[in-house]
Every structure is written in C-alpha cells, then in structure tokens.
A and B are shown apart, each in its own frame.
Chain A
Amino acid sequence: MPPSRFTINRESAVFVGALLLLLFVSPVADWWARLDVHWTTPYALWLLVIVAAFLINGRKDPDEP
C-alpha cells in the first residue's frame, strides 16, 4: 500500500532533520571543522539544509486549502 502524502512529508522532514544532525552534530562536523576549510563552509552546509527543506515543502499537503 503506498504511503499517504502526509506520511511522505513527515518522513521527508525527518530526513532533512537527520541531514542537519549529520552535518552539524556528528563526527562529520568534527571532520569539516578539522579541515582547512573556508570560513563560509558552515554557512554553505546550513544553506544545503535550507534548500532541502525548501524542496520538500514545495509539495502540497493533503490538508492544505
């Protein structure tokens, strides 16, 4: 049985949340912080999360008017 749109949105949201945690609260964060990266790198990663959130929110929810 295919999941409902609501389920998809919730799962997508959890996925984006997990992506944020992976990038900022995990050994991955240690890794990029130790590299000799540009000072804007954390902002670029943050932007990546925002873009992902933007993309999943482009979908229309079933309870939207």
Chain B
Amino acid sequence: MSHELATLFGAGVVYLLILFLIAYATDQGYVPSRWVSHPLVYTLSVGVYATSWTYYGSVGYAAHNGLLFLTIYIGATLAFVLSPVLLRPILKLSREYQLTSLADLLAFRYRSQAAGVLVTLFMLIGTLPYIALQIRAVTESLYVLSNEVPPNTIALVFCATLILFGVLFGTRHISPREKHRGLVVAIAFESLVKLVVLLMIGSYALSVAFGGSAGLDAWLEANPQALDALYAPVNQSPWMALVFLSFAAAFLLPRQFHMLFAENLETRALKTATWAMPAFLLLLNFSIPIILWAGQKLQLQMNPDYYVLGITLVHGPSWLSLLAFIGGLSAASAMVIVTSIALASMSLNHLLLPASYPDPAMNLYRWILWGRRLLIGLIIMAGYGFYAGLKHSAGLVELGLISFVAVAQFLPGIAGLLYWRRATRSGFILGLLGGICVWSVLLLAPLLYASGILITDLGIPPIVEASGLNKWAFATFATLTVNGGLFILVSLLTRQSPGELEAARACCTESMVTLSGVVVAGSPGEFRALLASALGQEMADREVDQALKDLGLRANERRTPELRRLRERIERNLSGLLGPQLAHIIVNRRLELDSEAKTALADSLRYVEDRLETSRSQMQGLSVELDNLRRLHRQILQDLPLGVCATDNQGKIVLWNLALEGMTGVEARQLVGSRLDRVPRPWDGLLGGFARSGENHIYRMELPVAGKPRWYNLHKAAYAEPDFNDDDTSDAKSRPGMVMLIEDLTDLGNLEAELAHNDRLASVGRLAAGVAHEIGNPVTGIASLAQNLRHEEDPEIVRQSVEDIIDQTRRISTILSTLKSFSRGSGHLRQTETFALHEAIEQAVHLMRLSHKHDGIRFEASCPPHIILTGNHQQLSQVLVNLLNNAADASQPGDRVDVLARVDADEAVIEVMDQGQGIPEELHETIFEPFYTTKPTGQGTGLGLSLAYKIIEDHEGTMDIDSQAGLGTRVIVNLPLRKSQQPYEPLAHH
C-alpha cells in the first residue's frame, strides 16, 4: 500500500495550517492563559529535543546499535534531574540579564564579542547538518509512503512554510521580556502529536506483529539474539560518550536553550520539567524496540530508520500511515522552526549588528525585527542547501551526533561560567577553537568527504580504528580533551579584565560586590540625550522609560544610586535586543561612570539589599544566618512604632521606616539615597533643622501637617558607620552617621484633651451636687428657724431667730461667691476683716446645734477670746461648719465633737476632733481633692473639705489630718494671727 504524493502533501499542509491556527489563537488570547503557562505545556515545548532523529532514526539506530539509542535520552534525563545545579542557575542568569542564547550567555560571562562571534559561527556550522537532517527525514518519509521520489519543490515548500511560521510567530516581540506564547503552545502541540502517534504506532506494531505483549515475549524467547543485540552495547565505548553528549545537547542545543530559558514563562515550570521531561522521553522511546522487532518479524524490506512508517504500510489503515507521516513532520518542523529562531537571534546579536551597526537615525526596533526575519529565512535555506548538497550516505543519527559533539564543545565554557570564577576569556576562546579544529578534522571532514565536497578524509578513519574506540567516543574524548585542556591551562596563565571579573562575579551569585562609580549623567533626561546618539531618539526614550518603569522610578529621578541602577537596568534591557556585549559597549560609552566618586553607604546598602533579595536562595551556612540576622534587625527598625530616619556620613538617607512612611506619607523607596533636603515639605524643615541643630532632644515640636497642627518629640544620636568601603579614606569616613527618632504626640494629646473634657463634664455634675450640699445646710437652718418662729411669741427669741436667718442667707451668698472663685481657679480673699476666732467658732457650733440632723451629737467649743484673725469671717465660719459637719457625720449619737483653739507662736491653731471611725492613713492625701468623698452616694459631694482646704490656703494657712482608723479624727487648722496692730472691734451683729 502506498499513498499519492499529493495526498501526503495535502495532509502536511493541513497539519501545518492547524499549527498556524493554534499559534494564532494563543497569541490572540483565545487559549486560556493558565493553559499556556502550565508547566506541562512548557515541558512539552522543551520536548522539541525529540526530532525526526528520535521519531524515525531511533529505530534504525536500535537496529544497528541496540540499546545505544537510549543513551540520547538517558543523558538528557541526567541534565534535567540536575536542574537545581545546572539549569536553574542558567535560567536565573538569562532572565536577570536578558540573555536569549548560549552565545549571549558566554559573551556576557567572558565579556568578549569574539566569544559571541565564535560561538555563533560554530553553532551555525554545527547545527546546519541537523536542520538538513530534518528536511531529509521529511522528504524521505514522503518517498517511503508514496514510492515516488518527491520533487525538490516539496522540500522547498516545506522550508518556505517553516520560514513563514518562524517569521509570524517567532518574531512577534523583539524584547525577550515578552514571550512568544503562540510559538510555545504550537511546539508543545507538536510534541504531543509525535508522542501520541508514536505510542499509537507502537501499540499497532505490538498488535499486528505479535498479537500482544505475550506474543512479543514468546517471540523474544524464540529469538534470543534480538534481546542479546539490544543489550550488547551497554557500557561499551560509545555508551558513556553518548550519554555525555546528550547530557550537553539537552540544554546547549540552540532550540533547547531557546525553549528552556528564552521562552520560559514561569520559573517554577522548570521544576516540573525536571521529572516531566524525562517521563516524556521515556514514553516516547518505549515503542522503539517494539517497532524494531515488529519490523524484523514482518521482514520489512526497507531502511530500519523508516520502520515507523513501514509498519503502518503493511496491514494498517491508510489514516494510520498518514498519522505516522504527520508525526514525523511535526518532529522535523518543530526542530527547524525553533532552531532557526534561536540561531537568527544569535546571528543578529553577534554577527550582523557588530558587523554593520545601523544608522541611529533609522528605527532600530524595525531594523532588528526585519534582521531577525531575514536571518530565519537565510538559516532555513542554508539548511536546505546543506540537505541538497550532501549525499545521503550518512544515517539520520550520524548527522545528529555530529551536531551533538559540536555542541558539547561549549561545556567547558559553561562549567567555567557557573562554577569557576578564575576562567578567562582567552582560555575559553582558545579552548573552543581547539575543540572546533579537532571536531572539524574528526567529524566534519569525513562527512564532507563522503558527500564529495572534500577530496580527502585526511586519513582520519584509520587513526580512529587504531584507537580501539568507537568513532563518537573517540571524537568526544579528543575534542573535549583539547578544548578543556586549553581552557584550563590558558585560564591559569592569563588574567581577567575588570569587566570580565565583574561578569564572573555576577554569574557566581554567592559573591556580593557593591556598585562602584557614579553615573556622570545626572537625570533620566540626560540618559535619553546621551543614548540617542547610539540608539536614535525614539529607542532611547522607550528604553529609558521602560527601565524607569521596571524600577518604579520617577522621570525626574536624581538620586545617585537610583541612576546607577537605572543604568544597569538599561544595559540589561538592551542586552535582550542587541546582545550583551554590544549593550555593554553602548552603555559604557554613552553613560559613563565616574569611578573616582565615592560610593555612599546608602548607595551600597540599597544595591546589596537588592542583590540579597534576588540571590537569597543561593546562600548557605553562615551567610544564611547572617542574612536572617540582618533581616531581623531591619524588621525591628521597620516595625518600630516610632518614626526612624537614619542618614549616612554624607547626609544621605539610609533608613526611613514604616512608621515614618505613615507619618509623612512618603515611601522609603522614594527617599532612600536622597539628602534630607529632598524630603517633601514640611518635613524637610523639621528633620533638616533638627539634624543641623545642636539639640539632641526637642519636645512637643508643633508642625502644621495638612493644615492641622501636630506635635512631635524628636531625638537624635550619632552612630559610627561600619567600614563598608575599606578603600574609602575620605573625610566622610571620620564623620558619623545620624539616627533620628520621631514620636508623634498628636494622638496622645488629643486623647488627653478628650479625657480632660470628659472630666470637666463630670465635674460640672459633681459641682452641682456639691453646691446643693453646701447651700442645703444653711437652708435647713433657715427652715428650722422659720418653723420655730411660727409658734414663737417671745419678741427677743423672734429677733434672735430673724438674725440667725439673715446670718444663714449671708452664708449662702458667701458660699456661692466662694464657689465662683473656686470654679475660676484663682482663689483670693475678698472683704477681709478682723475678727475674733471664738465668734466664728461659736457661730459654727450654734449653727450645727440648730440642725436636727445631728441631734444626738454633742458639740463643745473652747476658744480663748483674744485670738484675733484677719480674713473673711464668713468663709472661715463655712470652713468650721464643713469640718463640724464632717465630724458629726463620722460620729454616732451620743458622741462628742470638740472644737479647740489655741495660739502657737504666731499662729492660731484650731482643732476639730470627733470620736468617729477615723480615716485610714492612705486616704489622708486624697480626701482634700475636690469631689472625693467616703460617704455613701448621695450623702456627700466631696466638695466640702476641698472647699475648706482652699479657703484655708487663701488665708495662707494649712490644714492637716491626724486620724487613725477606729480612734477618731483630728483636723488641725493653722492660721496666721492678725499681722497689723489694727484694733479689733467686735462684729456689730454680735
């Protein structure tokens, strides 16, 4: 059974159309984003590793070399399981520095355009046979299925379609930060197709040839030589070499590097690929022995390379053989598309741009875009030329392995990049050149000789035979020995340039270096102007804007460390467009650094902290502990409920904590690295002024914030900086840094005011009750006198009672006047007069006796008549009444209350004593406070004693309490005696 060539061609066109549709739908957003970024889609896209070599060639290779075909996937498995030490560091580097290809990576590490050129050229030479292999696989599969020699136009149409696909979906974005999602999904789909089809063919082969797995086992038992042939090459000479070659190819081949690192959408996807990719390869290869043995059993008369197709042709339905063809087409097309895109990017960055840098006046973006498109076309057509020029003598695997050995030449350079900082540019270039020479002699020359391009094989085959090693083992050993030997030897003999050293440190992230130098340009505007001469104004503007956006900086940024970071970011972004070396040269020449300028602590701190954040996972041992300690200290300062602002010895802000962000509304990232005068108003004046002042503490500093006054306590202290830059011998080193603490008192003040207000409200209530209490006593007296008067007929008693009533009303008036004075808080004596103390005492006692409230209490007064005082008679009477009232309240019926007066030196001493329960000592101080009372609620206001105390104070006297619980109370009042010799006249009403 065979197919019409037109049918196969039509099926191929339909399949490629589907591929276009998938890529288009993804780019247009019709495919859900979570599917596109799913780790399994990433894994399948990395499955571009399996090309037509795997699809067709593995069966042929297994036919001649047994299990040796599996080494190509065992080596790849090794590369993926070693992902944490191998692939992840490269992924981090390529993402961080926008490196899109192996040439970018090596040119970045060895700071050499020559390295980039050499890698690109060698990659092109080494990969072209591989592209030719894919084209050949497609045309040969057409021949196998149709029994017709396909015209060259079919290969040309195939190539043209792939060019179109690559141009449409592989160059949609020129910046590596934007991934080609359509391409990724399309390539993942191709991997899925080849896997499913190969599994289907394997199942079909098992069924049609053996009737199931039991039949296969029976056949193997009957044909033990098949199994012997399978196992024979295990651990023979090429076994280890092929494992090693495929290990290198799994991540160094251009298509692998492109899908693994350049088109990686999510870092975590690589983690899934660590096991999922080997699982994919296992599934893909599981059918290979079955198809081989099925072909042998069915005695297919064809090259075993095409048993995959042959099996389906024997008894299978026509759709199965069409599917088999589509599977092969998918394997070949995916490889050619991705390889051409990857090689185009490398060629543009390392061959075309350095050779003919375009005039900055033209649109550089467009130039790059069309340059890549052109290169994709050229590379695929060069592969076609290689296919057309080569005789079909070499097997599919032969061509692939030549590329594998070529790619393995980059391993020493990669090892140096990741793990040997001492490796030098000269060592890498000379080692690579040595490896290329040996590779050309051992592998390329015999291939060209076999194709008739060279007239001699240089006598190599006899040498290889004499070695006793397999061709591939010998080539691997010889090339890498020369390459690695030269690499190590020359690296040890030569020295690194400063740029190379910096790049080597960047690649080995364990080492942390601070930024040195200050950008001469002082603002993003100057960056634009300087870059425009190399990039053109439009590109310069876009790149500066993009870098500002990436870093979250403002267009008017002027801080030195931020401008340094901006410069670094621009270089990285340009690296993704122009290649690392060209970007480095442009940025170095246009945005010059003043390397003499000292780097402030603020600048170094910010940079080091940024680096620590991005490289924390690389830390080990003590550095992790130190970093934890650093984070703890920083977090303590950040979370401190006081505003903290620290400046370095150059006056630049190094710390601006969260509390201060809250107070000022200014984020730390806007200020760290700036001087205090860059702090927005009104804080610049407050902090700048405080920093300059000689005061270390300022209390309750008022500052209008947003139109409202706020109050702050400020404290500051000087601190000695650590020796951050050991080479810094400037005066700045001797100057201390400063830390300022800002305490916001406004809320506390507001709380105090609110409490005071509440207290005042409560006082008003207490005062009202107190007033009622104070006035209540004389009113009660008046009421009693008035009641007595109703029945009293004796005119003398009536007159006396009226006098008493008038007295009491006067007292009420005096109380009110005293309260007014008390409420104003400025007590002073009014209406001073000279009076005899005994009159006031008797008046008070008399008043108490009138009150029926204290009927059972005996009031006794003893006062010499010669004690004369100067003051307010009414007020002092009120004091005595209050004291007597309290004493009576504390007494039981039958108790006695004494009032004794005497002269002590120049003072009159009045003692009011009761026999009540006494006052505990701890209350002696508090009972004079206004509104404090020990009486039950409603029976005392707490104002009586405080009023009395205040009146005595107004009379320049003192009042003390002598009391013990259970032994009664003695209130001692000391009043100064009359100072003048003014004669005393008894009060008229007495």
Contact B268 A39 (CB under 8 A): no
Q: Does B77 contact A (CB under 8 A)?
A: yes
Contact B85 A10 (CB under 8 A): yes
Contact A49 B77 (CB under 8 A): yes
| Interface range on chain A (Cβ under 8 Å from partner) | 35 or more
Partner of A33, one of B78, B85, B235, B617: B235
Contact A50 B85 (CB under 8 A): no
Bound form: Cα–Cα A43–B278 in Å: 11
Q: Does B239 contact A (CB under 8 A)?
A: yes
Q: List 14 A-B contacts (CB under 8 A).
A: A1-B625, A4-B621, A13-B83, A17-B78, A17-B81, A20-B77, A25-B74, A25-B240, A29-B239, A47-B282, A49-B81, A57-B272, A62-B616, A62-B617
| Interface range on chain B (Cβ under 8 Å from partner) | 35 or more
Stretch from B226-234, B560-568, B739-747, B935-943 forming part of the interface with A: B226-234
Contact B84 A4 (CB under 8 A): no
Contact A42 B235 (CB under 8 A): no
CB contact under 8 A between A25 and B239, given known A13-B82, A17-B82? yes
B227: chain A residues at CB < 8 Å are 39
Q: Does B80 contact A (CB under 8 A)?
A: yes
Partner of A4, one of B220, B231, B620: B620
B495: chain A residues at CB < 8 Å are none
CB contact under 8 A between A6 and B77, given known A13-B83, A64-B268? no
B842: shortest Cβ distance to chain A, in Å?
A: 92
Contact B282 A1 (CB under 8 A): no
The interface residues of chain A, by DSSP majority, are classed as helix
Contact A50 B621 (CB under 8 A): no
Partner of B85, one of A1, A13, A29: A13
The interface residues of chain B, by DSSP majority, are classed as helix
Contact A63 B617 (CB under 8 A): yes
Considering the complex of A and B, which 8 residue pairs feature the smallest CB-CB distances, nearest first?
Answer: A33-B234, A63-B617, A54-B275, A53-B275, A13-B84, A33-B231, A53-B81, A16-B81
Contact B624 A4 (CB under 8 A): yes
CB contact under 8 A between A57 and B620, given known A10-B84, A29-B235, A50-B282? no
CB contact under 8 A between A50 and B77, given known A7-B620, A17-B82, A62-B617? yes
B251: shortest Cβ distance to chain A, in Å?
A: 14
Bound form: Cα–Cα A1–B83 in Å: 25
Bound form: Cα–Cα A38–B213 in Å: 12
Q: Does B879 contact A (CB under 8 A)?
A: no
The chain B residue with its CB closest to the CB of A41 is B231
Q: Does B618 contact A (CB under 8 A)?
A: yes
Bound form: Cα–Cα A56–B879 in Å: 90
CB contact under 8 A between A24 and B243, given known A1-B621, A1-B625, A62-B617? yes
A7: chain B residues at CB < 8 Å are 620
B272: chain A residues at CB < 8 Å are 57
Contact A50 B74 (CB under 8 A): no
The chain B residue with its CB closest to the CB of A61 is B617
Bound form: Cα–Cα A46–B67 in Å: 13
Contact A6 B620 (CB under 8 A): yes
B78: chain A residues at CB < 8 Å are 17, 20-21
CB contacts under 8 Å to B, within A14-54, are: 14, 16-17, 20-21, 24-27, 29-30, 33-34, 38-39, 42-43, 46-47, 49-54
B289: chain A residues at CB < 8 Å are 39
Report B596-637 CB contacts with A as 1/0, cut-off 8 Å.
000000000000000000001111111011000000000000
Contact B286 A43 (CB under 8 A): yes
Q: Does B70 contact A (CB under 8 A)?
A: yes
A49: chain B residues at CB < 8 Å are 77, 81, 278
Contact B282 A29 (CB under 8 A): no
Bound form: Cα–Cα A27–B235 in Å: 8
B83: chain A residues at CB < 8 Å are 13
A38: chain B residues at CB < 8 Å are 217
The chain A residue with its CB closest to the CB of B272 is A57
Q: Does B274 contact A (CB under 8 A)?
A: yes
Partner of B278, one of A1, A4, A21, A53: A53
Q: Does B829 contact A (CB under 8 A)?
A: no
CB contact under 8 A between A43 and B282, given known A30-B235, A63-B616? yes
Partner of A57, one of B231, B271, B285, B622: B271
B625: chain A residues at CB < 8 Å are 1
Sample of 18 further A-B pairs with CB below 8 A, known A10-B84, A57-B274? A4-B624, A6-B84, A6-B618, A6-B619, A13-B85, A17-B78, A20-B74, A21-B78, A24-B243, A33-B234, A39-B227, A46-B77, A49-B278, A50-B77, A53-B81, A53-B275, A62-B617, A63-B267
